[in-house]
Amino acid sequence: MLLSLTVKDFVIVDSIALDFSAGFTVLTGETGAGKSILLDALGLLLGDRAEGAQVREGAERAEITAEFSTADRPEVQAWLDDNSLTGDDGVVLLRRLLDRSGRSRSFINGQAATLAQLKQLGEFLVDIHGQHAHQSLMKADSQRELLDAYAGSSALARDVHKAWQEWQAARQARSLAEKRSRESEVERERLTWQINELSELDLQPDEWNALNQSHSRLANAAELVQSAQLAVDTLSEQDNSCLTQLAQVQSRLSKLANLDPRLADTLSLLDSVDAELREVVYSLRDYASDIDQDPSQLLEVERRIDLLMTTARKYRVQPADLAEKLADWQGQLAALEASVDIEALSVAEAASLARYRTLAEALSGKRRQAASELSDRIAGEMQRLAMGGSRFAIELAALAEPGAHGLESIEYLVAANAGTSLRPLAKVVSGGELSRISLAMQVVISQVASVPTLIFDEVDVGIGGRVAEVIGHMLRGLGERYQVLCITHLPQVASCGRHHWQVSKSERQGRVSSQIAPLDQEQRILEIARMLGGAELTQTTREHAAEMLASNAAAL
């Protein structure tokens, strides 16, 4: 139950602090006085989006706080525990701060909270029926959600929707796997052909570099042999070769070393040079004799190089990368051959469908039972709202294929007058009739509501006379079981309230400000008289207002 609401610097409110009671409370006031500001403020505490323009002109920040009693509401305490937002036992405190830039901060029991958390908690605390609720009744989604709410199967409906999504995902996975399997067969054939072609090349490690080196050697074999032989002649074979001259130098210095021992080290170095030059000569002779000058071998190497280059161009890679390309294709083929098990996916799809059907059939059962009961109760309320002879029914039609929200479509049918056939709601009723049917639905649904506080925002628009009095008694009856707040412009409804608040506005120093104040018995008479007769109050309207209050007080 809503215990208190404090609003500061919000729209045209400077500061308001309200304490609420159980039972039926009405809020009245002149048009534009700010009756809906109270609901807007409460809506922010329940997770509505905020706008910077909602901050009162001249203020930097708006602040809204509300306290709710949660006694005997274990589900609220469980939610608070699950979200680590526990506060004092038996109460929950909501707070919202809004600055002019549009940024806001939210708190639950003094701890920072998200808008999503405010919305979730708000579903346990308050149910708001807006003055335009009847417009949504034209939509199939709204009709389905209302039936599920009455049946107490909203959570089951969400489970059905989730199971349907899981079934669709499994169905899509199986279908995609089958499609990929068909596509992969073509891909496997292509990869197999390409792998076979490269495998036939019998590529060797680093073959491309080896071929280029071999080709270079074979193509220049004559020059290599000639150059090696010339080097051997220069070093060793000619009359004045390097080794001959070196031997002469060694012989001369050897004689002189007897005269000066310091030449011994030099002679030792020359001996080393002589030995190394002879090794060079031996190496060059072997090299020259080892060079193959066979033209047929050169031709074979050139053919191999041409084959690798042609294949590389075909697959748009470098010849040196052919081996890597082969390994890549082999990996792709292995992955395709280890593709997803379609049979396992089919089993998973069947299991998902079975789970969906189990939940959907349970939901259908609840809907069928609730549809019959809800139809009768709404029809009964419609009779009370001056729609004599009217009928109401909820039609459940089996779908050709299981849907996201169950196995059936849901449509509200109405016969507005006696003797007429039932037809879809949107095609039959007038605006006034639709408003009354909407109110009948809201009253019936509210009778099974689990939230302790029900708020009705001018749901009686377009209604008057005896019907308005019936509405007042309806809401007063709800007030016996719930805390009911109603913003109304009808004196017949206002006179049924156990508590009465008046919303007014005043201007001070060029600034308009809204106030809300509880009314005593005499003030209620004046307010209801104003609602009956307008700006000028006559004795007759006052007496009429007093009579209305006395009559309803006697009925309490």
- Structure confidence at residue 108 (pLDDT): 95
Instruction: Give, for 211, the enclosing helix (H) or strand (E).
Output: helix 207-219
| Residue 66: pLDDT over 60 | yes
- Structure confidence at residue 394 (pLDDT): 94
- Structure confidence at residue 428 (pLDDT): 65
- Structure confidence at residue 3 (pLDDT): 94
Token pair belonging to 428: 């039959």
Q: b/e for 42-53, b at 16 or more Cβ within 10 A?
A: bbbbbbbebeee
Which pLDDT tens digit goes with each residue over 284-307? 888 777 776 667 777 787 788 888
HEC secondary structure over 172-193: HHHHHHHHHHHHHHHHHHHHHH
pLDDT band at 168 (very low <50, low <70, confident <90, very high): very high
pLDDT band at 368 (very low <50, low <70, confident <90, very high): very high
- Structure confidence at residue 164 (pLDDT): 97
Token pair belonging to 436: 């009354």
- Structure confidence at residue 449 (pLDDT): 66
Greater confidence (166 vs 286) lies with 166
pLDDT band at 338 (very low <50, low <70, confident <90, very high): low
| Residue 33: pLDDT over 80 | no
Residue of 508, 537, 505, 540 lying closest to 523 (CA atoms): 537
Q: Looking at 31-35, 145-149, 431-435, which range is the least confident one?
A: 431-435
Residue 481 and residue 470: Cα distance in Å, rounded? 18
Which pLDDT tens digit goes with each residue over 398-430? 999 999 999 999 999 988 777 788 888 777 656
| Residue 75: pLDDT over 80 | yes
DSSP string, 219-278: HTHHHHHHHHHHHHIIIIISTT-HHHHHHHHHHHHHHHTTT-GGGHHHHHHHHHHHHHHH
| Residue 526: pLDDT over 80 | yes
pLDDT band at 513 (very low <50, low <70, confident <90, very high): confident
Are 485 and 25 in contact by the 8 Å Cβ rule? The answer is yes
Which pLDDT tens digit goes with each residue over 229-263? 788 778 887 778 888 888 888 888 888 877 888 88
Token pair belonging to 526: 């004046």
